[in-house]
Amino acid sequence: MPIKEGKWTIAEVIGHLIPWDEFIVNDRVPYFFKNNELPKGPDAQAVNDQAASESRIRTKEETIDRFAATRQTLLTALDEMDDHLWSKELIIGKSTLSLAAYFQGMVEHDNHHFEQIKKVI
């Protein structure tokens, strides 16, 4: 069911969160606060298009299970980080921000989508 006319379905919205959680776990968390440059992020449109496509062929249960498992992996990785790291600054591309601010942006993104879903259901 689309969240709005001409928009993604609920499955596509949830499904697109999966590869972004995987990206953060695999290509951000291991590099935070190492003196190496963070790997370049993927093409957002390509990731979202692929995730939407995959979500259309998965069952509702598969999508929910994959999202829950991937999100739990991310939450575990964050829980294992030392508390003092949350206030340290990161450089991502041309932006400088704290780890807390980085994840605040992620939370706001997810909450936006969760609110869309709540309106539909």
Parse the chain into domains and list their residue ranges. 10-120
Is pLDDT of 37 > 80?
A: no
Is the pLDDT at 38 greater than 80, yes or no?
no
Decide if 18 contacts 51 (C-beta within 8 A): yes
The stretch 31-42 carries a mean pLDDT of 79
- Tens digits of residue pLDDT in 13-29: 999 999 999 999 999 99
Tell me the average pLDDT across 29-49. Answer: 86
**Does position 39 have pLDDT exceeding 90, yes or no?**
no
How far is it, in rounded angstroms, from Cα 82 to Cα 36? 19
Instruction: Find tokens 């294992």 and name the residue.
Output: 80
pLDDT at 40: 81
Average pLDDT over residues 97-119: 94
Burial class of residue 19, CB neighbours in 10 A (0-12, 13-18, 19+): middle
pLDDT in tens, 65-95: 999 999 999 999 999 999 998 998 888 878 8
